[in-house]
Amino acid sequence: MDPLSDAELHGFSRLMMDAAGIMLPLSKKALVGGRLGRRLQALGLSSFTHYLAHIQRDGPERQRAIDLLTTNETYFFREPRHFAYLAEHILPRHDASRPFRVWSAACSSGEEPYSVAMLLSEHLGSRVWEIVASDISTRVLEQARRGIYPMERADKIPLPYLKAYCLKGVGAQEGQFLIQEALRARITFRELNLNAPLPDMGQFDLVLLRNVMIYFDAATKRGVCGRIEQVLRPGGHLFVGHSETLNGLESRLRMVQPAVYRKDAGDARGPR
């Protein structure tokens, strides 16, 4: 198999930009070659050029390539200041007469929405709440729906939550844990491309889009942020990664602390 060339990397970069708005610079060359090389071997292809041609006519294989090239680093209760802000500032001010709705965008393998679900269950009790969790990768969505993780992934889950919402695997599942079925049932997982018009999902009180926009160019960031604004309720919040900012983007979202943005409560534009 021939090594990945700069021209072939450019071809995969165009694929990912068109599909998901994700850039693949030269610094990602080794990552792309490593992740896709096994697919070339499995398909009996001798070059990445042949693989590029193959995925143009094979839709399922194209989706597999997108899955492999999507970065999915995540863990439970990542960036704990967000969870503290949610518990201390957002939930106490929520109107209890309506559901609290959350969208975990780019949810990867599910650790983020399950973390939010544990916190909401703990703080809202019998009140109604909903979580929509989405990703462009069908592979990680299947893992998220199962809600089964290696035991070492539990190290960031607070012990009371671990005892209340996670089941320790036994027998064939030894060394793993399962998210409680009642909690799994509160989350709707769906395939969704942030770089395309959004389906009708209603409005949300909180959107989490963390550690994703670092892979977008300026035009893609503007488009994604504009679509998120439309589905945020007036007074709703957006959490981004602590290494990310909306600075330089025309936005109706105002930063209330680093990585936390709020839509003006007087701004009632957008779908209802």
At 218, give phi and psi (nearest 5°): -60, -40
Distance CA 218, CA 216 (A): 7
Amino acid at 104: S
Check if the beta carbon of residue 201 is closer than 8 Å to that of residue 230: no
Residue of 35, 64, 139, 145 with catalytic role: 35
Separation of first and last alpha carbons in the chain: 53
Check if the beta carbon of residue 102 is closer than 8 Å to that of residue 205: yes
- Strands (DSSP E) contained in the chain are 100-104, 129-135, 148-150, 166-168, 176-179, 187-191, 204-209, 232-240, 253-257, 260-263
227 given a catalytic annotation:
no
Assign 160 to helix, strand or coil.
Answer: helix
Check if the beta carbon of residue 139 is closer than 8 Å to that of residue 196: no
Residue of 78, 135, 184, 205 with catalytic role: 135
Q: For residue 191, how far is the Cα from the chain centroid?
A: 10
6 given a catalytic annotation:
no
Enumerate residues 6+ apart whose C-beta is below 8 A from 212. Answer: 105, 106, 194, 241
Listed residue (14, 19, 30) closest to 67, CA to CA: 19
Indicate which residues carry an active-site annotation: 35, 135
